[in-house]
Amino acid sequence: MVEQRTENPRVGGSNPPLGTTLFLSVAGMTTILLYNAQTESKISSLKHVVEDIALKNTGIKLIEVNAGNFREKLTDKVDLLILPGARAGTAYRDQLAGENFEHLKKHMARGMHVLGICAGSFVLAKDFDFDVYDPVTGDLIEQKHIQSEIGIADVRAYGPDLRLYPLRPREKSNPWSVYTATPVTFDDADGKETKAHVALSKGPSFTGHNPQQCTPIATYDTTGDSAIVAFKYGKGGGVLSGPALEVGGENLIHYVFEEHLKIPQCLNVITALDNSKDAWAKLWVKTLETLLPGKPALHNQIRQNFGLAPKSKPIPGTPQPPTPPKYP
């Protein structure tokens, strides 16, 4: 049964000021930057997933920093930078270009990773195409081809693909008016093929991968194009996700209100996502294990937090149960 909230709906909850970064850190363990380019970015929703679910019981503390001290906070201790979905990617391209991008590349080369979701994934692709449609008539208004100033993954992003995303007018009080539930297939962290419905809101598809740098993680069932792509850069790399990964599983409670369940289109999307909550957890585990390599203890904690069994292999350096004595 889908849980629901009762207060007045507000997409993504309250947001920090324009150009703010959220800084999550665990001393001596893991440091994650969650970048907020604009007030309508999905920062609160991602905070719920990353901090309250995935990294629960890890001692992570949340510290806010602004875009002006981005280079100051992006140090050798940072393991991961997250670019959430936003109304448009222009703010990312403006705020992270130039010296900030050179600083970002330097840290990716030494081993840091980046996660781009929806608009955040568009701008990290070297080339992307974005089509603007009239949501009422479906008429194509404009086709934009952009070589991103912060494009670091050698892949083409394009969207929205109307085979995946039916156009609807945006309703200010109803966040579900801009989402659909799209089927994808991926191999989970244990190598098992898994199918799921994921939330999509004008997010991109990916084609033209450079096989030396990019590897598909998940594929849209409808088109066969990549939905999520991993890429390498120096000793680091990242993941680009067209779907809105924060919308699903345990995090649905932050999106569902009683009035939404009375609208057939909304109910269909919510139900499909709710039925995929186990696969959603596996997709997050796969994504975070890709983005935070070499941290087996953290991986097992993340698995536990998502309700999955730990990996069977023992973690190096951890105490193991004694071997039982052999009796004749």
Q: Does the pLDDT at position 317 exceed 60?
A: no
Instruction: Give pLDDT tens digits for 56-66.
Output: 988 765 566 66
Q: Is the pTM of this model over 0.75?
A: yes
On the question of pLDDT at 18 being above 70, the answer is no
In this prediction, residues 308-324 reach a mean pLDDT of 56
**Tokens in use for 48?**
């719920």
Q: What is the pLDDT, as a whole number, of residue 114?
A: 96
State the SS3 of 155-209: EEEEECCCCCCCCCCCECCEHHHHCEEEEEEEECCCCCEEEEEEEECCCCEEECC
Please check the confidence at residue 143 and state whether its pLDDT lies above 60. Answer: yes
Tell me how far apart the alpha carbons of residues 205 and 227 are, in angstroms, rounded to a whole number. 5
Closest CA to 86 of 182, 20, 167, 137: 20
pLDDT 10s digits, 272-288: 999 999 999 999 999 99
Does residue 135 belong to any structural domain of this protein?
A: yes
Domain count, the chain: 1
Q: At residue 54, what is the residue type? A: A
Rounded to whole angstroms, the Cα distance separating 37 from 84 reads 9
What is the domain range of residue 252? 20-305
Q: Is residue 8 part of a domain?
A: no
Whether 120 maps to a domain, the answer reads: yes
Residue 322 covered by a domain: no
Flag whether 316 is in a domain. Answer: no
Across the range 97-122, mean pLDDT stands at 93
Nearest-5° angle of CA 265, CA 48, CA 262? 20
Q: Is residue 295 situated within a structural domain?
A: yes
Domain CATH number, residue 111: 3.40.50.880
Asked, for residue 244, whether it belongs to a domain, the answer is yes
The pLDDT of residue 128 is 92
* Residue 13 maps to a domain: no
- On average, the pLDDT of the chain sits at 84
